[in-house]
Structure 1
Amino acid sequence: MAQDAQFGSQRFLTLTLGEELFAIDIFSVREILDYTDITRIPQTPEYMRGVVNVRGNAVPVVDLRMKFGLGRVERTLNTRIVIVEIKKDDTLSVMGALADSVKEVLELETDRIDPPPRMGAAVRADFIRGIGKHGDRFLLVLDVDKVFSSDEIQDLSRLADTDAEAKPVPQPAETVSDEEFFR
């Protein structure tokens, strides 16, 4: 990333997963929610925690710790759901990323973000856009379009979109007189 980076800076939202510090491009973030009830959808991968209600729409939520093999996010006062926009082809989808905590928005010089190290063919790290440094800690910069690019995540996002669009219109209840009711 450092080789092809333009001069300047970029803003990131930082969040924690376990003891690790991650960053997401601020332009991918739509909003940050306190932890709320998540409705589990049967027969989805374990890291797919379910859907949450965001202003009347069902938004799929991914447990980032589980997705990255770091255990499960447990509910605390600091647990947050980061609502992000992801692009695949010409489609814009909305997903929730469950994180242990959200820290801050920070600005990093683009030429100070190094490309991810090569880990070998057996290790999948294509979702890491780069590695920056914040204070004395490394900061893993995520590529949200790749984190949420698997077909099953896209399928769940479409399921939630379809579910939100295809809500049945409630029909009025049939009125029955007391006389008919007690027959």
Structure 2
Amino acid sequence: MDKKDNKNISYLSFRLGDEVFALHVGKVYKILEMTPVTEVPRSPDYMKGVINLRGKVLPVIDTRIKFGMSPTETTKSTCLLVIDAEIGEETVMVSMLVDAVQAVMKIEDDKILPPPSIGNRYQSDFILGMTKVDEKFVMVLNIDAVLTSDDLIDLKAINAARQTAEKEEAATN
């Protein structure tokens, strides 16, 4: 009998509104308290701006908007999940704005049920499956499907705009 590595079945749960989502802990780089976000002009509505994490500029995605919900209202439990997402052939580090991080939970693969047809409320290609924890459904995300190649183009444009702004600022100082 071979034992599964516990890390393979560990998921981080977080809340968006009344809904609970989970993503594989292997995708989570860091959890940050809310920090000031620098807005980037002409970015998509779900792109709140950028933050600086140890010299790396990371885009901040309002996960609620990305999932078709109302924008996030910052509270003391609002935080940023810094994740590694596979977009096309590239691995991109981004930060996701979430209402609250809840817990690390173990979810066996056989406990993840296929997602039901849930209409337009959520784009179901984000949803890997559903599981029940303490009598409440948790949506398990395919985080790589949350961001698309269009998002990667937007991220590159945002980084280019930021670099141009930094050069202009340095030239005027």
Classify the TM-score, shorter chain.
Answer: 0.7 to 0.9
Residue identity opposite 2:83 in structure 1: V
Shift of 1:158: 2.4
- Matching residue of 1:73: 72
SS where residue 126 of structure 1 aligns? helix
Distance 1:69 1:123, change over 3 A: closer
TM-score with structure 1 setting the length: 0.80
| Structure with more relative contact order (C-alpha pairs < 8 Å, separation 6 or more) | 1
Q: What code does the residue aligned with 1:99 have?
A: V
Corresponding residue for residue 180 of structure 1? none
The two structures, once aligned, show a CA RMSD in angstroms of 2.7
Residue 157 (structure 1) shift:
2.6
Q: Which moved more, 1:134-143 or 1:40-49?
A: 40-49
8 Å Cα contact 2:68-2:122 kept in structure 1:
no
Q: Which is further off, 72-81 or 156-165?
A: 156-165
Please report how far the alpha carbon of residue 123 of structure 1 lies from its aligned counterpart in structure 2 after TM superposition.
Answer: 6.9
1:142 aligns with 2:141: yes
Paired AA for residue 154 in structure 2: L
| Paired letter, 1:81 | L
CA distance in 1, matches of 2:122, 2:158: 31
Structure 2 residue aligned with 1:155: 153
**5+ residue gaps, structure 1:** 1-6, 174-183
Cα-to-partner distance string for 1:37-71 (whole Å, 9 max, x where unaligned): 11111112211111111112211111111111221
Contact 2:50 2:60 in 1 (8 A): yes
- How many equivalent pairs are there? 166
Find the aligned partners of 2:158 and 2:122 in 1 and give their Cα distance.
31
Q: Structure 2: give runs of 5+ residues left out of the alignment.
A: none
Equivalent position of 1:101 in the other structure:
100
CA separation of 1:160/1:56 partners in 2, compared to 1, >3 Å: closer, same or farther? farther
Q: What's the secondary structure of 2:65's corresponding residue?
A: helix
8 Å Cα contact 1:59-1:160 kept in structure 2 = no
- Contact 1:84–1:96 (CA under 8 A) maintained in structure 2: yes
Map 1:20-169 → 2, pairs under 5 A: 20-119=19-118, 124-151=123-150, 153-159=151-157, 168=167
TM-score (norm 2): 0.84
Question: How far 1:165 moved relative to its partner?
Answer: 7.5
Change (3 A) 1:88 1:150: closer
- 2:125 aligned counterpart, secondary structure: coil
Bigger helix share: 2
Instruction: State the percentage of identical aligned residues.
Output: 32
Q: Which moved more, 1:81-90 or 1:17-26?
A: 81-90
Q: Compare CA radii of gyration and give the structure with the larger one.
A: 1
After TM superposition, where is structure 1 displaced by more than 3 Å over at least 4 residues in a row?
119-124, 159-168
Kept in 2: contact 1:57–1:161 (CA 8 A): no
